[in-house]
Amino acid sequence: AENNLVTGDLAGAAERFVEQYYQDKVVALWTLGPAGDQNPKYVSWKMGSIGDHKREPGYPLMDALGQVIGEEVVRVAALINTMTGDANIEAEQRIAACPAKIPAHNPKHHELDVQPVESLDIHLGLILINQIALTAVSGEVATNIYRHLKNASPFANTLMITLANDRLGYIVDDAGYDTPTFEAQATPLQRGYAEAAIVNGLVAMMEKYC
């Protein structure tokens, strides 16, 4: 909370490790998966500066976690033994409107002027690279929605990228509304609409290319 510097945070630390490992001959890309109910495995809470006192607290831990993630990227990349220069790429997007509500957790402490609206648009996207489906959602999606999408997807390799093309806010699965979590209280969407709109909308786009 005390950090007032601009930083790439954990994503930047992981990207730096991978790029340095390959001697800056690659560009490492980071995307957020279903991040609505996820945090880094270890989080610094006012731990104080360690080592370099010119940096804010938490940076050493960020670098360490970045290396852990980067090491896994390098390990997996080394297992790839089949590559191709040919790729069929398809792309599509659509918008799903869902009924909105005032969040139970009204973020007034962020000085936001929250006003009621009838509905909010969820931007859905698909980039299909051969048999790899990269799906995109314009909010912080809970993990269970991604799990349901993978189960319904016609492609074995289906990934979800969230906070893509907009930031609607937290999007929880229908069952998640019964849990006393920050995400369930802060979502601006009514129950019973978003999960189906995301899963069914993305699957419908993918089925066109099966």
Mean pLDDT across 16-24: 97
Sequence-distant (6+) residues with CB within 8 A of 85 are none
End-to-end CA distance of the chain: 47
CB 186, CB 107: distance < 8 Å:
yes
pLDDT band at 166 (very low <50, low <70, confident <90, very high): very high
Contact 135, 113 (CB under 8 A): no
Task: Return mean pLDDT, the chain.
Answer: 89
Task: Specify the DSSP element, H or E, that contains 199.
Answer: helix 194-207
- Per residue in 31-66, pLDDT tens? 989 999 988 888 776 555 455 555 566 788 889 999
Other beta carbons less than 10 A from residue 167's beta carbon: 10
